[in-house]
Amino acid sequence: MSIFTNRDGSRDGHHKPAGYSAFDLFRRGLLGTQWPRAWRSHDLKPSYDVVIVGGGVHGLATAYYLAANHGITDVAVLEKGYIGGGASGRNTAIIRSNYLTPEGTRFYDRSVKLYETLAADLNFNVMFSQRGHLTLAHSDSALRTSRWRAEVNKLQGVDSEVIGPEEIKKLVPYLDTSEHARYPILGALYHPPGGIIRHDAVVWGYARGADAHGAHIHQNTEVLGIEVANGRVRGVRTNRGDVAAPVVVNCTAGWSSLISEMAGVKLPITTFPLQAAVTEPVRPFLEAVIVSGTLHVYVSQTDRGELVFGASVDPFPSYSMRGSLEFTEGLAGHVLELMPSLAKLRVLRQWAGLCDMTPDFAPIMGITPVEGFYVDVGWGTYGFKAGPVSGETMAQLIATGKTPPLIAAFDLARFAEGRLVGEKGAASVGH
Ligand code: PYC
C-alpha cells in the first residue's frame, strides 16, 4: 500500500487526511511504521495560479481556504525552512479577541470562532482549550483601558468584562491579590473565550488540509526575488528555480518588509525579537491565561504542565532569534511579583520569534500598488491568533478580487491617508 493511500482508499491528488481509530493509533504506535505522510513533497512546477510566500499558519491557512472555500487548488506554499519554523512555532499560543478597536475585536472574534471548529474542520486535534484570559490592571489608567476594552468587546458581541480582586482570586488562587503586593491588582479584564492552543498542531492541520486539496507545500524553498513587469507581478525567483504566477501573496513574519521590497513595495514595518520561555512541568494549578501589561509578563500552563511565559519585545530592532539571560532574569522577577510561590520552578528552555511592528500595531492586509501582489503582514505580537481569519479573508480577496469588510481597515493605503487603527492598547506586552 502506498504511503499516500489512506484508510478510505483515496490517493495522491485526491488525498484525504487520515482519521485514526484508537486501534489504529495503538497499532501504528507499537509498530512505529506505516504512518502516512501528512503532506507530500513535489517537484517545483514552473508555474502556479497562486504562490504563497511563507509556510506558517497564515500561508498554510490561505492555501487551505483558497481550495476549501473557492476551489483554487493550483497553489504553491514556499517556505524557506520547515513549515511552522518561524513565528508560528515561536509564540506563546494565546488565542483571544478582547481587542481595543471595533475593527480588531470583530476580526479576532472571527478567528476565535474558526479556532473553535478547527479540529472538526481539519479532522485534526488542535487542542484548543478555552480556559479564560485575564488582563490584570495594577493602576487606575490600566483599569480605565480595561473598561474601555470591555465596552468595545461587548458592543461587538465578545464576552469580556471587568472583574475585581475577589473574583480574580477565585479564578487564580495562586495569584498574589493582596494589598501588600508590590503592584497590587486592582481588577482585570476577564475574557472567558480566550485560551491556548497547540500551535504546531494548527500548522500541521492546515498543511494536511491544504495538501489534501492539492496545494503543493515546498519546504527549504527560499524566495530570492519577485518578478514585476508593467506594474504586475509575474512570479518569483527561488533557490530551486523560477516560478511564474499571476498572484503572489506575502504571508511572512520577520522578513515581510524584505520580501515586499523584492516587489518594490515599501512597508512601514520595524522588526523586533520577542522572547519567551517554558518551565519544567508541574501539576496543573493554573487554569486561566494571565497577562500583566504593567509588569510586562504573561503566563499560561500547558496541558503537559509546563508554564509558558513571555514578556516585552526586545528594546531594539533585530533579526536575531537568540534568547538572552537578561530577558530570563527580568521575566523571573516579574513573574514572582505575581506568583511568589513559583520561586523554585526551573526554566527548561527559551526562544525568540520576530515581530513585524507597524506604526499603529494593526496588521497590513490586502492589495498593494503592484497588481497581483498581496500582503498579509505586520502582525506584531498578534500573528498566531489571527491565522485562521487571515487565511479565510485573504483567500476570499484573491478569489473574488474584492476586499472583505473584515480586513478593509487594515489596508496599506491607511498610512498615507491617515486612517490608523490604534491597537497598541490591546497588547499583552509592553513595546
Ligand atoms: O496578544 O495575546 C497576545 C500576545 C501574547 C504574547 C504575545 N502576544
Alpha-carbon torsion, ordered 260, 263, 265, 270, to 10 deg: 20
Which domains does the chain show, CATH number per domain?
Answer: 271-287+295-357 (3.30.9.10)
Give the number of other Cβ atoms within 10 Å of residue 304's Cβ.
9
**How many angstroms separate the Cα of 123 from the Cα of each of 89, 117, 182, 214?**
21, 10, 47, 17
* Structure confidence at residue 31 (pLDDT): 83
Residues 390, 382, 137, 291, CA torsion sign: positive
* Structure confidence at residue 6 (pLDDT): 36
Atom of ligand 1 nearest to the CA of 382: 1
Cβ(296)–Cβ(142) below 8 Å: no
Separation of alpha carbons 24 and 35, rounded Å: 10
Q: Does 298 sit in the ligand 1 pocket, CB within 6 Å? A: yes
Rg of the chain in Å (alpha carbons) = 22
Cβ(124)–Cβ(207) below 8 Å: no
DSSP letters along 297-350, please? EEEEE-TTS-EEEEEEEPSS--------HHHHHHHHHHHHHH-GGGTTPPEEEE
**How many angstroms separate the Cα of 133 from the Cα of each of 41, 160, 196, 288, 392?**
39, 9, 9, 6, 25
Question: Mind listing the pLDDT tens digit of every residue in the chain (431 residues)?
Answer: 232 333 333 433 445 566 678 888 888 888 877 777 899 999 999 999 999 999 999 999 999 999 999 999 999 999 999 999 999 999 999 999 999 999 999 999 999 999 999 999 999 999 999 999 999 999 999 999 999 999 999 999 999 999 999 999 999 999 999 999 999 999 999 999 999 999 999 999 999 999 999 999 999 999 999 999 999 999 999 999 999 999 999 999 999 999 999 999 999 999 999 999 999 999 999 999 999 999 999 999 999 999 999 999 999 999 999 999 999 999 999 999 999 999 999 999 999 999 999 999 999 999 999 999 999 999 999 999 999 999 999 999 999 999 999 999 999 999 999 999 999 989 877 66
* Structure confidence at residue 19 (pLDDT): 66
Q: Does 92 sit in the ligand 1 pocket, CB within 6 Å? A: yes
* Structure confidence at residue 3 (pLDDT): 29
Nearest to 111 by CA among 362, 384, 410: 384
Q: Does 146 sit in the ligand 1 pocket, CB within 6 Å? A: no
CA of 428 relative to ligand 1 center, distance in Å: 5
Separation of alpha carbons 211 and 16, rounded Å: 9
Cell of 243: 516560478
Residue bearing the CA closest to ligand 1, atom 7: 381
The secondary structure element, H or E, covering residue 353 is strand 347-357
Q: Does 381 sit in the ligand 1 pocket, CB within 6 Å? A: yes
